Structure 1
């Protein structure tokens, strides 16, 4: 499996007991690695301390989930009795962390060969394997993957997203309060995550109302966000505007996608495909995942076709699926003219492009994409917002979803969607 891929676990299989096996190598060998599982409710929270399953709490949910340590290749295992999981167990996040990372000075740069295997315990059959961590460096914790319910079945999503701050940061991101005798958590910091999650909840409700208005209730779509990171965008990244864009668009993904993940790209004359963002890790996503990553090319000139071709490649070649794709493309002007040809060629794919112009630049080419002739279907829309911070959520989501319903109908009529 590759990062971001989703795979069926129970569909077409009689899997009752699932072993989730973790493995790794360490250099230096004294780095301590712990595997764990967080049992999450529908709102993405670990509601009880007992739902955090690790070496210190090896049995949870009446024995439906257990943790064990082995001496073989697989270092630690979570065994999950799927039929015995309670209905409120919506997702299980599989994680690895470095023990006492700050005190020991260890990071993921000293860990290699990280993998997670899903095995049918009764049959001994491997359902899937995800090797991850090659892109990790200073992080001290990782969400390896998520086992989640979808339409009465269980699926797995390969995540591989790193965290800074070790187990403490990971627990707090899932809503667990971490008490340390020697370290006091500031009241503002302790309140920050619940406050941000409540904002997301409000926006999700707004999106839900808009979906009803647009007759999109029940529609499932994969959602991606493409962010311009050319030189003219520098101020918007530094003043927090782009972080707010991520948060507002995440609410759309939470209502459309079966696992609430927002796929993200950034581009100038190069592009980077980033880890998907969810409700559990959106806080500080832009400062840490974009601005803080030296591997991401930033603030150069623009070249839209390169990143658009990678979007098409992900959804049609790497992860082909009959599910429609809704792409939100943020740009502050200056689109290169070959973008028209790229968009025309992409019209045969189940991807709708919602272009959003922000700022006061010239949007001549972007506006032309809305009415571009010669396409099999009209696969794009464009609107302009001078200052995205001044538009309400209702107005924003109304504009975002304005033409998506008509594209769905036309794409189905043309056989692009089934």
Structure 2
């Protein structure tokens, strides 16, 4: 089976496969360039919880051989292997992320444009049978690292997500993105701890670069906008707050705000039957934002039933009455189902305001109301969009940013023509 970028396939469902190998291949146009495959063992927080959860040439085996890295002799098309015994992987390992990086790329000026024919195959070791092949990387240029794909748990089985997303900053950037504190020592060529503040900023910097790439694709690099985030905190969202998913959402949307917003801050609201307007999230204080500003904040009403119109009206109040500006507003609204039909009236009346509502439905609800936003009549302009993501923790940053910013450029164009936005 040949996979396409973004495709997700079952690996163990309906089979008896338990031992696998991922076989990585590539062709380099620069003979002296070194390329390495690696595996990050991630928890439900999408983080490596310990240094040993990083499997690469310097740490080639973990969990008594459950995951191991092997370099080939260089004569065949397969350059490196990662062997996996699924039955021996600890239950707290939710995902395995597989990466390919250029060693010391920035130092020598190497980029992914120097690499071609990138592929990974997943092989059933027991039968020596190829399950699928994923060719990727043809759209990469100046990047120095790639997340090729992920094996992840789903309903008691393992699935594979074909990602093929490029990153800047090489291996160090990926390590910080996955929660490891590393720094390359130019003399000892070893990885040493970084202060927590540097690690946090590096994570945001990586995501800002991905946002920048998305903005370039959508021709939005010139745009300045205010960015807001509304978070559902009804009872059904409790586990997403407790397992770190909502914190991850804040960090990912903050990267958008850092590229768009004139003061590089993210306005945040939470709501259930009541709502709270929180202190903005910034690069300086985003670490543990959810724990400090939401979960530990006793003044915030939490885990009740949902009621959207009041928080939506407060968003409109802030941006159109309290802080009047000619800048557009990009408002991301996270919800896991059960939206009240009365939001239609709020959105319709807000169509004359410089606010674009990007609703994100997470989980397995039917989202009947939100699915009808694009066909809702009675508005001067289509000022809202809806995307549905089953598992927001499993989707790559690159895919998320492309989805979030898909309809925003068209609204900017139409709102400017209708003089809702004034240049």
TM-score, structure 1 as length reference: 0.54
- Give the Cα–Cα distance (whole angstroms) in 1 for the partners of residues 328 and 314 of structure 2: 16
The equivalent residue for 1:340 is: 344
The equivalent residue for 2:196 is: 192
- Give the Cα–Cα distance (whole angstroms) in 2 for the partners of residues 382 and 357 of structure 1: 7
Structure 2: runs of 5+ lacking an equivalent? 1-191
227, 233, 252: which one pairs with 1:229?
233
Deviation for aligned residue 1:190:
6.2
- Give the Cα–Cα distance (whole angstroms) in 2 for the partners of residues 371 and 221 of structure 1: 26
Please give the per-residue CA displacement for 1:298-317, whole angstroms capped at 9, x wherever unaligned: 01111111000000000000
1:356 aligns with 2:356: no
Deviation for aligned residue 1:370:
2.7
Deviation for aligned residue 1:362:
2.0
Please show how residues 218-297 of structure 1 align to structure 2 within 5 Å. 218-297=222-301
- Give the Cα–Cα distance (whole angstroms) in 2 for the partners of residues 189 and 389 of structure 1: 26
Deviation for aligned residue 1:219:
0.1
How many pairs are equivalent?
Answer: 232
351, 374, 377: which one pairs with 1:373?
377
The equivalent residue for 1:308 is: 312
- Give the Cα–Cα distance (whole angstroms) in 2 for the partners of residues 386 and 192 of structure 1: 31
199, 209, 212: which one pairs with 1:208?
212
SS in 2 for 1:206: helix
The equivalent residue for 2:329 is: 325
Deviation for aligned residue 1:390:
1.1
SS in 2 for 1:389: coil
Please give the per-residue CA displacement for 1:46-103, whole angstroms capped at 9, x wherever unaligned: xxxxxxxxxxxxxxxxxxxxxxxxxxxxxxxxxxxxxxxxxxxxxxxxxxxxxxxxxx
- Give the Cα–Cα distance (whole angstroms) in 1 for the partners of residues 247 and 308 of structure 2: 21
Deviation for aligned residue 1:191:
2.9
Please show how residues 24-173 of structure 1 align to structure 2 within 5 Å. none
- Give the Cα–Cα distance (whole angstroms) in 2 for the partners of residues 361 and 404 of structure 1: 25
The equivalent residue for 1:62 is: none
SS in 1 for 2:216: helix
CA RMSD between the two structures: 1.4
Deviation for aligned residue 1:193:
2.3
- Give the Cα–Cα distance (whole angstroms) in 1 for the partners of residues 354 and 194 of structure 2: 42
Deviation for aligned residue 1:189:
9.2
- Give the Cα–Cα distance (whole angstroms) in 1 for the partners of residues 337 and 193 of structure 2: 37
SS in 2 for 1:203: helix
Deviation for aligned residue 1:261:
0.3
SS in 2 for 1:276: coil
1:217 aligns with 2:221: yes
TM-score, structure 2 as length reference: 0.54
The equivalent residue for 2:407 is: 403
SS in 1 for 2:358: strand
Runs of 4+ that moved beyond 6 A: none
The equivalent residue for 2:396 is: 392
Structure 1: runs of 5+ lacking an equivalent? 1-187
Please give the per-residue CA displacement for 1:256-297, whole angstroms capped at 9, x wherever unaligned: 011100000000010000000100000000001000000000
- Give the Cα–Cα distance (whole angstroms) in 2 for the partners of residues 415 and 195 of structure 1: 43
